[in-house]
Amino acid sequence: MSEKICKENKASKDDKKETENCCKVNLEAKDGGESDVPKVDIAVESDNTPSGPVLDTDIVKTRKCELKKIDWTGKLYLSPLTTVGNLPYRRLCKKWGADITCSEMAVATELLKASPQEWALIKRHESEDLFGVQLCGNNPYVMTKCTQLLEDQMTVDFVDINLGCPIEFIYKQGSGSGLLQRTNVLQSVVTCMNQVSSLPVTIKTRTGIHKDTNIIHNMMPKFKDWGASLITLHGRTREQRYTKQADWDYIEKCSQLCCPVPMFGNGDILSYEDYTESLKKSPSISGVMIGRGALIKPWIFQEIKEKKVFDISSSERFDVLKDYVNYGLEHWGSDTRGVETTRRFLLEWLSFLHRYIPVGILEASQKMNQRPPIYHGRDDMETLMASSNCSDWIKISEMLLGKIPTGFSFLPKHKANSWK
């Protein structure tokens, strides 16, 4: 079905050649040609179809009124977070009040190759009652086939298209934010994914590509026409990465252009105060997505819902770490390999978590892109948790998981400090 839909929604001639080359290896396996790509079990018509009425599902398209509906209004959405947004971490955020969760970015071609590592990224925990999978890809054939596969073989509430990833090799492949430069291909991706599945198709994007040039407002009416169920806008361009403040005034402008399609805003929310200020600047949005703010203080969701700021003590923060470690050992296993996997992901998270400044120490509200001052905590544990030194993060991991193995080393994958 996915191939038929893609043919009916062809991209421009130039982009078509490019996309066909990109997905040739995936189509050869289905057409009977030789391929090293493992075959994925996608539901197709079989010669052994039982007798009965003639089905017309390949002729009659799913109508918009038959698509699954989600009420997005007023919800708090945990951002899809590469590396750190794993299942144990999402489970922790659900405990603290996140309404919507989404998998880490998964590469569509790797899912179709049945890569165990890629499928592990999109595993869902039972506590995730509103859960989506974020796909990254550069052509409609692969993205559409992958969407069909997810609906057939997973219990998932929506599929999100990554149009915001700023990573260089993703961008150069024409995926992530690179798709913003290929409008015809992007149109085919969104429309074909909508036609092949009853799952809502959502979009997460940035304001543009180049440093001081916002372009996404031109795309908002198109996203609406192509059938997007939700649009999430991170208020920065690709080149800005995480520098400068998110542009919530521009988010408001875009929200009005995509109406009645709901839109979420994303960027620099670290407190209930930031949340309310964002809503003042962007009153038209349906909700907010929180990324780094949740990494620095996962209890931010409960703060927002209770409309106050928590002064979390070092012992309470250590209990949060205990919960994460227990979730990790349950997910990755309690053998040596599971312990060390949990340790590495814990250390990745600590590279963000140490930036939290306890409310009882602050003179003013902590802001996302302001470098935290060096300070001594109210006890030794609070001081240790404030350290930006990797060796201190390892000490914390040893309190929870035992001594590190011989030859152990750690370097954070993420470098998203963005301090002014």
| Residue 73: exposure state from Cβ atoms within 10 A (0-12, 13-18, ≥19) | exposed
Which of 6, 165, 192, 258 does the annotation list as catalytic?
Answer: 165
What's the chain look like in SS3? Answer: CHHHHHHHCCCCHHHHHHHHHHHHHHHHHHHCCCCCCCCCCCCCCCCCCCCCCCCCCCCCCCCHHHCCCCCCCCCEEECCCCCCCCHHHHHHHHHCCCCEEECCCEEHHHHHCCCHHHHHHCCCCCCCCCEEEEEECCCHHHHHHHHHHHHHHCCCCEEEEEECCCCHHHHHCCCHHHHHHCHHHHHHHHHHHHHHCCCCEEEEEEEECCCCCCCHHHCHHHHHHHCCCEEEEEEEECCCCCCCCCCHHHHHHHHHHHCCCCEEEECCCCCHHHHHHHHHHCCCCCEEEECHHHHHCCCHHHHHHHCCCCCCCHHHHHHHHHHHHHHHHHHHCCCHHHHHHHHHHHHHHHHHHCCCCCCCCCCCCCCCCCCCCCCCCCCHHHHHHCCCCHHHHHHHHHHHHCCCCCCCCCCCCCCCCCCC
Active site residue 165: yes
* CA 188 to centroid of chain Cα atoms: 22
Measured CA to CA, the distance from residue 105 to residue 174 in angstroms comes to 15
Catalytic residues: 165
